[in-house]
Structure 1
């Protein structure tokens, strides 16, 4: 049985994981270079990720037969020399298709590695997740003139990490990590010890490999030194999650995904540019959403429809 013991901060959020916000260009900078086309960049980025997965392996043998002092952390290395017979990551990862948040016509094959499944529950996409992690960027220093990867020579560098478990609002991390976190299960048991530390048992361990369009693209965090268009790799331990209600309106944020597409950004009932999950008055009628629902004693929610028009009051501006 795997377990880990740490003191958990009440709420600490890493800088580099946050979705950064770009400044509007005022057109006065003559050196401004438009960002690459996202549809074209996804092809290049996916080639880089898949080449990495083909040429690298992880310490799967330690996970299969954990030594006494094993910390259940994923480590990568190149398939070469003494490691020439190792199983490539590409043969061990799973994948799924996820949506670009900027261009709806662009989608990505997101690869993720489930090294240890975990025995708890998977979080929903707008939940709060407690994890420890290591973030690495994958960069290609040069390419042929035609953009081919014949001289592919990637290098990686860690840009953020936390050994101590950290709680993140999953709507505030880079999209690829958010899309990946929902694939990992939490710990089966969480024990608060007399000394204030917390023990997690049977937690999930994995990794996410994301194209630049699911990471920072050209909008890298200030001071991070992450190259533009870098692909990102996160290794992680998934410990705990709790239901997110970012706007405090009494409706769990996953229930405010009205079109059921697993994205929190594109549900905006009143068109005020504040998505429902972060809007305390979803229908813009001046009456808080929390006053237009009924939270029952068992925690379930009833959605009244006073004018019986088929639209719940909290989404009905003329109810």
Structure 2
């Protein structure tokens, strides 16, 4: 398993949903906080006018006798704060659980793990309708949650994978995690847009989580990417110990001392996190301590 943690990196983040990563803005002084409120109002209105049709596993306009998404207990909420243009903006992400998934051995992915998924996406063009067709869809695709829009990074963490029952035939999974993500534009492509996705447009994705690589090590430095969250805020992408503008999760030399992180493993147990050689900083691991340049290479 260990070797796959860093082999399954971001080979597929060229897919359209991954483009732009955290959806950075190119328009100065845009009011992201106000847009977040607008997006949430639009999604709430959408939920009141639509329901989940069990027979077709799809969202449809509300009809008599059905329960609106707004009142459906399977529709969940996650509050998310993202820093945009040095300002903390609050967003509400919605996810609908059709099937949580059954793979307890691997559990839920972190926000930066590698996942194997099926998905299709539609634009929420008005509160009473969706786009006529998918703007993107892919099946059986590996990618890292570190390289996609934030709505995916957070949304997939609520599902587990399925059970691999392949045998001698094609790779097959039973009871994978299955659901729907309703993503405000601030956790997608913001005020920029992408391809057919317009600026400030909320998105809806049908998703299936087939499999995942727990504790993915994106940069192959021996430290699982989720543990490169030095400040403990749950966002490894904003931790940069050596200030070289490359987050630790993408940086093979986290402290910038010219000794690669994977070699700052004094006890040679494969985990640089438990090596402390500086008596003046006994709680600071060597791989984050620029004053320690001991290599086991």
TM-score w.r.t. length of structure 1:
0.78
Aligned to 2:180: 207
Q: Extract unaligned runs of 5+ from structure 2.
A: 1-9, 293-297
- DSSP-derived class of the 2:232 partner: coil
CA distance in 2, matches of 1:302, 1:179: 25
CA distance in 1, matches of 2:247, 2:11: 23
- Say if 2:278 is the partner of 1:307: yes
Aligned to 1:116: 99
CA contact (8 A) 2:272 2:285 kept: no
- Say if 2:255 is the partner of 1:283: yes
Aligned to 1:30: none
The structure with more radius of gyration: 1
- Say if 2:49 is the partner of 1:55: yes
Out of 164, 186, 191, the position equivalent to 2:165 is 191
Q: Cα deviations across residues 19-47 of structure 1 (Å, max 9, x unaligned)? A: 4178997xxxxxxx656310111111111
- Say if 2:36 is the partner of 1:45: no
Out of 130, 152, 176, the position equivalent to 2:116 is 130
Root mean square deviation, CA, Å: 2.4
TM-score w.r.t. length of structure 2:
0.84
CA contact (8 A) 2:227 2:236 kept: no
Aligned length: 272
Note the C-alpha offset of 1:12: 4.3
Which residues in structure 2 correspond to 1:73-152 (within 5 Å)?
74-79=57-62, 83-92=63-72, 93-103=75-85, 104-120=87-103, 121-140=107-126
Q: Cα deviations across residues 204-244 of structure 1 (Å, max 9, x unaligned)? A: 110111110100013333xx221111101111111100032
Q: Extract unaligned runs of 5+ from structure 1.
A: 1-9, 26-32, 63-72, 141-151
Aligned to 1:230: 201
- DSSP-derived class of the 1:52 partner: helix
- Say if 2:141 is the partner of 1:160: no
Q: Cα deviations across residues 143-171 of structure 1 (Å, max 9, x unaligned)? A: xxxxxxxxx55442421012x21111111
CA distance in 2, matches of 1:23, 1:87: 37
Note the C-alpha offset of 1:11: 5.7
CA distance in 2, matches of 1:180, 1:207: 9
